[in-house]
Amino acid sequence: MSFLTLPSLSDSFALFGKGYALQVLKSVSWLTYCPLFYWGDLDVDGFKILSQLRSYFPHTISVMMDEETFRNFEEFAVPVAESNIEYLPYLTAEEYSLFTYLSQQKKRLEQEHISQDFANRYLQKVLQRDAQC
């Protein structure tokens, strides 16, 4: 649903990575030259997928996969089965901290529970900051 409701952004396109199937993107060499933003579920798998994507494209920036977003929508988090905490070498310290917390607390927040208004504001802020780089 998040893919379908992505707001219109100039000079942008969205790819539906279909979870771990994103490995097919690693051979798309021109993505090396594009700013890449990843928005996955706030759960163990979302962060594992982010780390995997960064192993192919280290310049990938995560969006709405931070503590602020989780705290804003924590009421929609649901319990999940226990998972092992593992080292994910391509996460930032903040991302790894949230990954660890979600794993220990056995929680997940799906993208669909983040409001469209919040997502629109967040994306505009990130894109404005990226344009200044």
- CB neighbours of residue 80 within 10 Å: 15
7: pLDDT strictly greater than 70: no
Q: What is the pLDDT of residues 77-95, one digit of tens each?
A: 999 998 888 999 999 999 9
Q: Is residue 5 part of a domain?
A: no
Give how many domains the chain has, as a whole number.
1
Q: Is residue 71 part of a domain?
A: yes
Q: Is residue 12 part of a domain?
A: no
Q: What is the pLDDT of residues 50-82, one digit of tens each?
A: 999 999 999 999 999 999 999 999 999 999 998
Q: Is residue 14 part of a domain?
A: no
Count of residues in the chain: 133
Query: Burial code of 25-42, b = ≥16 C-beta within 10 A, e = fewer?
Result: eeeeeebeeeebbbbbbb
Q: Which domain holds residue 57?
A: 19-131
Q: Is residue 11 part of a domain?
A: no
> Using CA atoms, how far apart are residues 114 and 57, in angstroms rounded to an integer?
26
Q: Is residue 1 part of a domain?
A: no
Q: Is residue 99 part of a domain?
A: yes
Range from 12-26, 29-43, 79-93 carrying the lowest mean pLDDT? 12-26
Q: Is residue 100 part of a domain?
A: yes
Secondary structure of 12-61 in the HEC alphabet? CCCCCCCHHHHHHHHHCHHHHHCCCEECCCECHHHHHHHHHHHHHCCCCE
Q: Are 41 and 111 in contact (CB under 8 A)?
A: yes
